[in-house]
Chains A and B, each alone.
Chain A
Amino acid sequence: MFNKILIANRGEIALRILRACRSLGVGAVVAYSEADRESLAAQIADEAICIGPADAKHSYLSAPALISAAIVTGCDAIHPGYGFLSEDEGFADVVRAHGLAFIGPSAEVLERFASKEATRRLMTANGLTTIPGSTMLRDEDHAIEEAERIGYPVLIKPSAGGGGKGMRLVRNARELESTFKVSRSEAKAGFGDDSLYLEKFLEENRHIEIQVAVDRFGNAVHLFERDCSVQRRHQKIIEETPSPALSDAARRDLAEKALKAVSAAGYENLGTLEFLVDGKGDAYFIEINCRIQVEHPITEMCTGIDMVALQIKIAAGEPLGFTQADVVSTGHAIEFRILAEDPAKDFRPQSGQVWAYLTPGGPGVRMDSHLYPGYEIPSYYDSLLGKLCVWAPDRAQAIARGDAALRELLVDGITTNIELHRAILANQVFIDGKVTTSLLDRVGSAPFVAAGNR
């Protein structure tokens, strides 16, 4: 096991990693930027070190600053959390070159899964279905030919793009013809590369992901799925497990297929395979996340496994210590991302000082947050204030507990999306477990909030 770990992240996940270190009896040093001097993780850590200015480029994204901090504080490993450098194979490589362990997959594994395109090919070869798509498009005629083969509607996607940037939806050949040239010049202007390809557009889909854990000895388990279909502009807002859209047999089947593919592809450590599941229940693999996910607590609540501790153990070269048969998912868990955003003002991020902060309690309630009364929320980073998670024996009770907990949660001084969560919980579509990823964007959040206030 490691002697001391540098926590190279901020906010709630820095705190979460600190807690895992303490429960493992491993030392921890919180690396913080100047803007995070007063952060809870830096305040309660036994050791904390300022690594740079507020601008993440010179602090949380600076490999030299983080590695130097790890070395001068006597750490032997770095935990990157999520975001920032967590999936950067270059960083993982440099960390290792300095004799430190990177808590995550090895640089080779990260590199193998770095390109989304290559990962899809790799996973297809290992038995997963991906969204039907074209090869790189030569010209308009080729595009129309490919679109007809795939079936409309299709998305025109720039090869060099990402995160939905530069994508265009076309529903027939006429639209494709009129959009093709524009997309090509936009891609050239936006990414310096005008390569385009087509992908089938799934109208009503759910986002379901499978959590896996693989040690260095080839022992591999899945920790079932999480359903992250409640999204706004591709950002997850509410996650739950099990998915209300899958039967028990279907969820087991998807998890087993995912695990088989990922172990055959030589994956290592924690990983999440993301799928889009259409109305017919067909699951299409989209990508793999090679890190701890924001929404990991709901899996922890249902399986009883401390996933951050598990991640650290695997990186330290320890075996899993349990098998698939030992992994039991019990009850139902829901996570609400508490964000400093104003739903009434187009979700504009909020900053300022938290005056009062009261966390809910009761059975099955967990709050992972770095807030405290008097905390000044820096404006440099993301708007995640914390994650309220609830567990109950079944979904209906979990929804009821979620609502009770959201009513209790008080974050005074900052506008948050707490009321939006309550409105979603009260909405019949959510209660029926029928939310699809585009729902919030299509209807907007106002009707939800309005209905919730009635």
Chain B
Amino acid sequence: MPARGKSSNPGPDSEDALTVKRDHEAIANLADDLLPALIAKLASSGLGEIEVRQGGWKARLRMPAGGEESRKNAAKVADGHAGHGHPTGRGAAVHTRAEERERHPFPEDEVVDEPGRIAAKSPAVGVYQPRKDLAVGMRVRSGERIGQVNVLGVNQDVVSPVDGMIGSSLAESGEAVEYGQELVRIELPERPAGGDAARTAGEPAGAAGKA
């Protein structure tokens, strides 16, 4: 990346530029050496999360639950007028580099949900309608339809991503939902041995309140 060390364009001051350079080196190191090793370690350990510190840096990896890329701000369009605003800590040009280091050493860290959290997500932008007989505690199979999203009159199925039990609802019937929005929590009956399975079991069902 030749643009990085460009002498004609120093940062606000040279010390800052040095810091930036150091940060870049640390990140390059993280990406090339540390991360692959950590990912392998995490995958083989059965742990939900690991954290290491190196120099002034901290890297934390969490295992995504459903195997899919999980997401935040799920209830963004929940109240029908899609308040997006500035998600805390994810603001645009507003946070400083120091905050950046403090908060998310690398962005992937924050996007990952808590371990064990699995949800059926909306396949499209439209109006959500859960299956009529859907009830908390009901067993569902992976791929089983648990509701539909109506897109301009065409229904698209909302399916469970795993075998499990229906947990709390994250969206109401008739609610406008966006693509990828979490609609229904799916609880796993039991977790594979090891790791911090207890965290999932202890998850409160009260999250439905935020929808």
B107 on interface, CB distance cutoff 8 Å: yes
A415 on interface, CB distance cutoff 8 Å: yes
A42 on interface, CB distance cutoff 8 Å: yes
Mask, B1-16, CB within 8 Å of A = 1, is: 1111010110110000
Contacts A68-B125, A372-B93; is A47 near B82 (CB within 8 Å)? yes
Contacts A355-B20, A373-B93, A411-B3; is A48 near B84 (CB within 8 Å)? yes
Contacts A48-B76, A65-B151, A415-B3; is A34 near B179 (CB within 8 Å)? yes
Mask, A60-71, CB within 8 Å of B = 1, is: 000011011101
* Contact residues in B for A37 (Cβ distance below 8 Å): 71
* Contact residues in B for A44 (Cβ distance below 8 Å): 86, 92
* Contact residues in B for A408 (Cβ distance below 8 Å): 9
Q: Which residue of A lies closest to B73 (CB)?
A: A37
Interface stretch (choices A50-58, A82-90, A122-130, A199-207) = A50-58
* Residue of B3, B107, B151 with highest tally of chain A CB at under 10 A: B3
B49 on interface, CB distance cutoff 8 Å: no
Partner pick for A46 among B8, B85, B178, B181, CB 8 A cutoff: B85
* Contact residues in A for B95 (Cβ distance below 8 Å): 374
* Contact residues in A for B20 (Cβ distance below 8 Å): 355-356, 412
Smallest CB separation, A44 vs chain B (Å) = 6
Interface size on B, residues (CB 8 A): 45
Cα separation A73 to B82 with both chains bound (whole Å) = 7
Q: Which residue of A lies closest to B122 (CB)?
A: A50
Partner pick for B179 among A51, A412, A418, CB 8 A cutoff: A51
Cα separation A71 to B81 with both chains bound (whole Å) = 11
Smallest CB separation, A105 vs chain B (Å) = 23
A414 on interface, CB distance cutoff 8 Å: yes
For chain A, the bracket of interface size reads 35 or more
Contacts A40-B92, A373-B93; is A48 near B82 (CB within 8 Å)? yes
Smallest CB separation, A45 vs chain B (Å) = 6
A161 on interface, CB distance cutoff 8 Å: no
A43 on interface, CB distance cutoff 8 Å: yes
Cα separation A47 to B83 with both chains bound (whole Å) = 5
A256 on interface, CB distance cutoff 8 Å: no
Contacts A50-B181, A68-B125, A68-B126; is A413 near B3 (CB within 8 Å)? yes
B124 on interface, CB distance cutoff 8 Å: yes
* Contact residues in A for B8 (Cβ distance below 8 Å): 407
A300 on interface, CB distance cutoff 8 Å: no
Q: How many A-B residue pairs have CB under 8 A?
A: 126
Smallest CB separation, A36 vs chain B (Å) = 12
Smallest CB separation, A415 vs chain B (Å) = 5
A376 on interface, CB distance cutoff 8 Å: yes
Smallest CB separation, A22 vs chain B (Å) = 15
B127 on interface, CB distance cutoff 8 Å: yes
B184 on interface, CB distance cutoff 8 Å: no
* Contact residues in B for A356 (Cβ distance below 8 Å): 11, 20
A49 on interface, CB distance cutoff 8 Å: yes
Question: Across the interface, do A415 and B1 meet the contact criterion of CB distance under 8 Å?
Answer: yes
Question: Across the interface, do B124 and A65 meet the contact criterion of CB distance under 8 Å?
Answer: yes
Smallest CB separation, A97 vs chain B (Å) = 10
36-80 of chain B: CB within 8 A of chain A: 69, 71, 76-77, 80
Cα separation A376 to B1 with both chains bound (whole Å) = 15
A181 on interface, CB distance cutoff 8 Å: no
Contacts A376-B107, A410-B9, A413-B3; is A64 near B86 (CB within 8 Å)? no
Question: Across the interface, do B152 and A67 meet the contact criterion of CB distance under 8 Å?
Answer: yes
12-26 of chain B: CB within 8 A of chain A: 12, 20, 23-24
Could you jot down 21 A-B contacts, CB within 8 Å?
A30-B84, A34-B180, A40-B92, A40-B93, A47-B82, A48-B76, A51-B125, A64-B152, A68-B151, A69-B125, A69-B178, A72-B80, A353-B107, A355-B23, A355-B24, A358-B11, A374-B107, A408-B9, A413-B4, A414-B3, A418-B3
Contacts A44-B92, A358-B9 known; list 11 others, CB within 8 Å: A38-B90, A43-B92, A47-B84, A49-B76, A51-B125, A64-B151, A72-B177, A355-B24, A358-B11, A411-B3, A412-B6
4 closest A-B pairs by beta carbon, nearest first, are: A72-B176, A372-B93, A48-B84, A47-B82
